[in-house]
A and B are shown apart, each in its own frame.
Chain A
């Protein structure tokens, strides 16, 4: 065994049991092979299991020269007990779009990280980066040089930067994708390298790209600018496959319900009646869709993937302003642009981004997310600044209060009036 010190960790050790992959076992094995930081990490976690409180200190600003993000400082508050994790900084590395890798790339990353860090990672961070957990301040520049020179990969975003954009698997492996999600993700990441590395925003800003309304990267819940694929023409129907679903030759929902007997497939009950706009019906043994009434929820397509496919006149719906609750409460993205073509170099989309960033950088308060600015200054103000046309698709329903902020130029005759003329008509 290598010359390492293992701490007594009975509570952590309990988590070696059970079928789900044990992070404790993984970390301990790595530690015993000679990586003291892994054993100290478990030792400190054991202490947290005893105290039911974290033992990581608050912050500490570290980074690489010229960048204002990508590295997050982290220090143990028990360094005398766990010296190998006394400094345990995080490095975010920009993942390739939709997270396909070659083993050659990953092995080299591992070689680098074993040499310069703890050997611990998050594959991946919530935003999508490859996250390298645990190194010391003096290793930050060498890690950065290794990444850029020996791996040709850059850091991801953190702090009040553009965060690393991410996307779903898209057309690489999904028949529903209406967008070249990787191309969009790659191009936006390269276009906005300066914003990604050098903080200039009031707070973080996130782009996420999903190829269809199933939204596998949760763009609508967690990105300031959600790019979600959609289509304008008709759902493509293969009537023979529809018959095959009805006849039971094809499994509904691609076999997603295979371990329970839900009875024979009933197209009326399982598809037509669940359609949120009731825009489908059977005519004889043919499925009909009134596509003008369809809101592209994907349910029928999800249930009968062999029979139904999205149309071919494709683009993106752009929604803005999603965020988790801190601070003003959770927000979902709000519809901004119902349809926009998304082909390189994405000029029309980038013009939109420029306009909303101008507004946010002018008016946003410190640590105010883009969605909170819309809340504070109104959707109308967003529409004006983004130079969009107000359309009913932007709201669930019209307002129910009558408190309209008319501007003077919208009112005939303006607001300058003569009280004497008024009183000439009305005695006081």
Chain B
């Protein structure tokens, strides 16, 4: 189907929605007083528009994208950050990919709009990994756009729009909110990402690695980002059991929900005496706590954040793509690194060590997890100079699947003294 057929088919079902063409509405200047005129708290249904969904995608496609929908034939990464797509019609489009910290202000978005207006007929796109993509059709436009992007810097000297994130590189780190905006984090997100990306910057704008390396950060075990399948995952972890605020719990929690929240049954209902009054609360079997934080998600009177307890775990070897080997989970190789704001030097150092060991040892096309499996995990720990601890041995659900049940193993530093 071409775009016209798709639109006609979808309009059969959704033609009554405003979404197919919002140009007229969007082109009117923003009216800062309209909402107050339309919304009446005494009549909340008055003028209320609901369930309209997102705008229809096609109206945001650049012309060359519209014209060649479904007709793209091949692509070439002409240099790091620049992908040239060729269509069966003979048309070409260059996508220029730029890194972004994801946490951006409206001023930065307006600057992105200025660039899009100047070079890209006013269109721009974001990728799943929070990169920004600008599209141009000629080499002249491409050079002008890239020169412009390279010249834009923040007052402190950092690039506003670093070009890269293609091919065998470290692309943007998918991450969560951290201390900037989340209530359950065990570490920051934006600060750690900035520190790691500053250190690995040379790998963002180059194609030096054996394959792409996807790094992701989640600031607690909830993992709002999909870090559980990343080549290198940075994960915020707690290590102290939750408090129980007896004087608050009945007011802010449903006790049965708090009890049910624990996947290990470590939380039990309890009655305690407080100021001569008997109150219902909970008690935690601290030896059974695995610090997942699910109780705090369900009950605000059970916080577990702690400046000494919290920190970062490193997991490696996951992947999403079905290429060569099946998608894999990341594996925990470092159980804990303290939080070290603002630059997290220990975390940065160990990630560089893993990345460079991989870069020098893996075969072309081999992802981190495929490399670790080929050389063996004992060799991975040895080569990366990471101490192996019992924390890397699974003892949760399905743990047995990860145990070694063969006499085939490699001699490594772990066995040399035997």
- Choose from A11, A17, A100, A262 the contact partner of B57 (Cβ within 8 Å): A100
Q: Are A258's CB and B105's CB within 8 A?
A: no
Measured CA separation A124–B257 after assembly (Å): 32
CB-defined contacts of A362 to chain B, threshold 8 Å: none
CB-defined contacts of B397 to chain A, threshold 8 Å: 328-329
For chain B residues 378-402, which have a beta carbon within 8 Å of chain A? 396-398
Given known pairs A74-B183, A103-B113, the reply for A257 and B167 (CB within 8 Å) is yes
With contacts defined as CB atoms under 8 Å apart, how many contacts are there between chain A and chain B in the complex?
Answer: 492
Q: Does B413 contact A (CB under 8 A)?
A: no
Q: Are A49's CB and B191's CB within 8 A?
A: yes
Q: Contact residue range for chain B?
A: 35 or more
CB-defined contacts of A352 to chain B, threshold 8 Å: none
Q: Are A21's CB and B54's CB within 8 A?
A: no
Given known pairs A49-B179, A330-B329, the reply for A121 and B207 (CB within 8 Å) is no
CB-defined contacts of B289 to chain A, threshold 8 Å: none
CB-defined contacts of A95 to chain B, threshold 8 Å: 54
- Choose from B61, B106, B158 the contact partner of A20 (Cβ within 8 Å): B158
Q: Are B167's CB and A18's CB within 8 A?
A: no
Measured CA separation A343–B12 after assembly (Å): 13
For chain A residues 142-172, which have a beta carbon within 8 Å of chain B? 142-143, 145-146, 148-154, 166, 168-169, 171-172
Q: Does B136 contact A (CB under 8 A)?
A: no
For chain A residues 4-31, which have a beta carbon within 8 Å of chain B? 11-12, 14-27, 29-30
Task: Look across to chain B and name the residue whose beta carbon is closest to the beta carbon of A185.
Answer: B57
Q: Determine which residue in B59, B190, B307 has the highest number of CB atoms from chain A within 10 A of its CB, and name it.
A: B190
Q: Are A220's CB and B327's CB within 8 A?
A: yes
Q: Are B35's CB and A146's CB within 8 A?
A: yes
Measured CA separation A173–B133 after assembly (Å): 12
Which of B117-125, B140-148, B279-287 lies at the interface with chain A?
Answer: B117-125
For chain A residues 95-121, which have a beta carbon within 8 Å of chain B? 95-115, 119-121
Given known pairs A168-B128, A214-B321, the reply for A22 and B158 (CB within 8 Å) is yes
Smallest distance from the beta carbon of B272 to chain A beta carbons, Å? 22
Task: Look across to chain A and name the residue whose beta carbon is closest to the beta carbon of B83.
Answer: A254
Q: Are B185's CB and A54's CB within 8 A?
A: yes
Q: Does B166 contact A (CB under 8 A)?
A: yes
Q: Are A121's CB and B104's CB within 8 A?
A: yes
Q: Does A298 contact B (CB under 8 A)?
A: yes
- Choose from B54, B109, B128 the contact partner of A216 (Cβ within 8 Å): B128
Measured CA separation A19–B156 after assembly (Å): 9
Measured CA separation A345–B223 after assembly (Å): 33
Q: Are A154's CB and B53's CB within 8 A?
A: yes
Smallest distance from the beta carbon of B64 to chain A beta carbons, Å? 9
Measured CA separation A21–B150 after assembly (Å): 12
Measured CA separation A124–B126 after assembly (Å): 8
Measured CA separation A99–B102 after assembly (Å): 14
CB-defined contacts of A303 to chain B, threshold 8 Å: 365
Q: Does B416 contact A (CB under 8 A)?
A: no
Bitwise interface map of B from 221 to 233 toward A, beta carbon under 8 Å scored 1, else 0: 1111111110000
Q: Does B317 contact A (CB under 8 A)?
A: no
Q: Are A105's CB and B60's CB within 8 A?
A: yes
| Secondary structure type dominating chain B contacts | loop
For chain B residues 63-87, which have a beta carbon within 8 Å of chain A? 65, 69-70, 72-80, 83, 85
Q: Are A327's CB and B226's CB within 8 A?
A: no
For chain A residues 31-78, which have a beta carbon within 8 Å of chain B? 33, 35, 38, 41, 45, 48-49, 51-59, 65-67, 74
Given known pairs A21-B101, A25-B158, A183-B10, the reply for A100 and B125 (CB within 8 Å) is yes
Q: Does B194 contact A (CB under 8 A)?
A: yes
Q: Are A49's CB and B365's CB within 8 A?
A: no
Task: Look across to chain B and name the residue whose beta carbon is closest to the beta carbon of A191.
Answer: B13
CB-defined contacts of B327 to chain A, threshold 8 Å: 215, 220-221, 332
CB-defined contacts of B223 to chain A, threshold 8 Å: 324-326
Measured CA separation A332–B174 after assembly (Å): 18
Q: Are B107's CB and A29's CB within 8 A?
A: yes
Q: Are A174's CB and B72's CB within 8 A?
A: yes
- Choose from B26, B39, B78 the contact partner of A145 (Cβ within 8 Å): B39
Q: Does B162 contact A (CB under 8 A)?
A: yes
Measured CA separation A396–B239 after assembly (Å): 35
Smallest distance from the beta carbon of A110 to chain B beta carbons, Å? 4
Q: Are B72's CB and A173's CB within 8 A?
A: yes
Bitwise interface map of B from 32 to 54 toward A, beta carbon under 8 Å scored 1, else 0: 10111011010011011111111
Smallest distance from the beta carbon of B68 to chain A beta carbons, Å? 8
Q: Are B70's CB and A171's CB within 8 A?
A: yes
Measured CA separation A124–B102 after assembly (Å): 6
For chain B residues 128-185, which have a beta carbon within 8 Å of chain A? 128, 130, 154-162, 166-168, 174, 176-185
Which of B338-346, B350-358, B404-412 lies at the interface with chain A?
Answer: B338-346
Measured CA separation A74–B201 after assembly (Å): 33
Q: Are A122's CB and B102's CB within 8 A?
A: yes
Task: Look across to chain A and name the residue whose beta carbon is closest to the beta carbon of B108.
Answer: A26
Q: Are B50's CB and A66's CB within 8 A?
A: yes
Q: Does B278 contact A (CB under 8 A)?
A: no
Q: Are B158's CB and A326's CB within 8 A?
A: no
CB-defined contacts of B375 to chain A, threshold 8 Å: none
CB-defined contacts of B35 to chain A, threshold 8 Å: 141-143, 145-146, 149
CB-defined contacts of A133 to chain B, threshold 8 Å: 103, 181
Measured CA separation A191–B190 after assembly (Å): 35
Q: Are B300's CB and A58's CB within 8 A?
A: yes
Q: Are A97's CB and B48's CB within 8 A?
A: no
Q: Are B60's CB and A102's CB within 8 A?
A: yes
Measured CA separation A224–B83 after assembly (Å): 32
Q: Does A243 contact B (CB under 8 A)?
A: no
Q: Does A126 contact B (CB under 8 A)?
A: yes
CB-defined contacts of A106 to chain B, threshold 8 Å: 109-110, 112-113, 124
Q: Does B27 contact A (CB under 8 A)?
A: yes
For chain A residues 176-223, which have a beta carbon within 8 Å of chain B? 177, 180, 182-183, 185-187, 189-191, 193-194, 197, 213-218, 220-222
Task: Look across to chain A and name the residue whose beta carbon is closest to the beta carbon of B115.
Answer: A103
Q: Are B183's CB and A270's CB within 8 A?
A: no
Smallest distance from the beta carbon of B175 to chain A beta carbons, Å? 8
The 5 closest A-B pairs by CB, nearest first: A16-B156, A256-B167, A18-B198, A324-B223, A58-B300
Known A-B contacts: A88-B181, A100-B60, A260-B168. Give 14 more (CB < 8 A): A19-B158, A25-B158, A30-B106, A95-B54, A103-B112, A126-B226, A213-B323, A221-B228, A253-B365, A258-B79, A276-B324, A302-B323, A305-B74, A327-B292
22 residue pairs bridging A and B, Cβ less than 8 Å apart: A15-B191, A20-B198, A21-B158, A96-B55, A100-B62, A101-B124, A106-B110, A123-B126, A126-B176, A141-B39, A142-B36, A152-B22, A152-B26, A187-B14, A218-B128, A220-B322, A260-B209, A298-B321, A305-B75, A344-B6, A344-B13, A345-B13
